[in-house]
Each structure stands twice: as structure tokens, then as C-alpha cells.
Amino acid sequence: MSCLVRTVSAVLFDLDGVLVESREATERVWLGWARANGIDDDELRSAMHGVRSVEVVRTLRPELDAVAESDAIERLQAEDLEGLRAIPGAADALRALREERVAVVTSGTRALAAARLGAVGIELPAVTVFAGDVSRGKPDPEGYLAAAERLGIDPVEALVVEDSPPGIEAGRAAGAATVAVTSTHAASELAAADVVIPSLEELPGVLAERFDASSVLRANGGP
């Protein structure tokens, strides 16, 4: 008996750790904030990846004005572009996809997303969901549901590409298929994803071989 192949009508990318390698810049800003607020480096790192800045502040220093603190942190990150680079395979993966079938869902602000993508030569997609566009950040599925709605697709026909457990949880909760890239977390931490890959270079092949993604992939590199 043959198995049904899942249809993918759009690909929804996280930004940091999926399209842009930004750990050094992110940690520079966050570690400065943490040390100014008496927070241990390890405690910070355990809380900061894959979620919105406002949630990190609320978790670690609930007595502070989380919105004001996160706004300042995001501004500093948008100004700190040193060491940013595109994740290997990111540009090629995006070129392999129809641009009207792609979205970015990020825990960062519009200014931060634009600065980081611009710094590595990647154009901000027409459909991008920023931190301020949702009331609940990852692992809540709100961002991915919003991206699917803006693209005019059923969320179950979306493929979410993430690098963190909260992101994978958000994609699954939205009903999407999920691909995890081991750029920031070990494969064992991302085992909840449908597919785990070591590099974004493998994404076009995964789409072609594991899914019915004919409406997403450019035919023979064409339009």
C-alpha cells in the first residue's frame, strides 16, 4: 500500500540560525544586558534562543519593564552587524523556491530583521511576520499561522524551517510540517521535527524527495 506524500505549498523560515548566523552579535548584546542585571551567562543562554526578547526579559527579570528593556536590546542588535553571515546554503535554498511561496517568521523586530538580512545580502520577503505582529511568541503557533494566512495557504500545507526547539514546537502546533537545521542545537534536541538536516544546502533536495512541493520549487531553476 502506497503512502500519501504530504503537500507543501509554502516554506516558512525562521531568521536567526536559519538564514543568518548571528550568534556572536546576539550574545554580545545580550551578555552585556545580563551582566548589567546580575544574570549568569549560562542562565541567559538557556533562556534566550528561539523566543522574543520581551519573553527573555520577563523570564529572567520579571520586575523590569519588559517592553522597554526588549526595545533597547533590539535596537542595539540592529546596530551590531559585526560577524554576521548567511547560513551556508541559505541563498541557494531561497533561489530554489518561488518567492511568492516564501515567508519569514522571526522573533525579532522589523528593524532587526531588515538589518541582519541586508547585512548578508538576502532580501526581506514580501511576507514577513515580526515580533510586534503577534501577541504571543514562539513556541506559540501564532506567527506561523499568520504567515500562512498572508500567503493564502492552509497551515497544514506549510513547511516550517527552524533551528530551535521552541520554533519546532510552534511549527508543529500550527499543523505544519517541520524541518530542523542543526545550526544552533544538536539533532537530539530537535528530534520532534519531521526532518532534521545538518545544513540548509539539503533543503531543496528534502522538498523534492520527501514532499509534494511542485508548487514551491522552481522548475529546473526557472521562474
Residue 86, classed as helix, strand or coil, is: strand
Say whether the peptide bond before residue 139 is cis (omega within 30 degrees of 0).
yes
Angle in degrees, 0-180, between the axes of helices 66-79 and 53-60, rounded to the nearest 10:
130
The catalytic residue positions are: 14, 16
Give the separation between CA 154 and CA 170, rounded to whole angstroms.
Answer: 15
Beta-bridged to residue 177, according to DSSP, are 159
Residue 123 DSSP class? P
What does the alpha-carbon distance between residue 206 and residue 185 come to, in Å, rounded to a whole number? 20
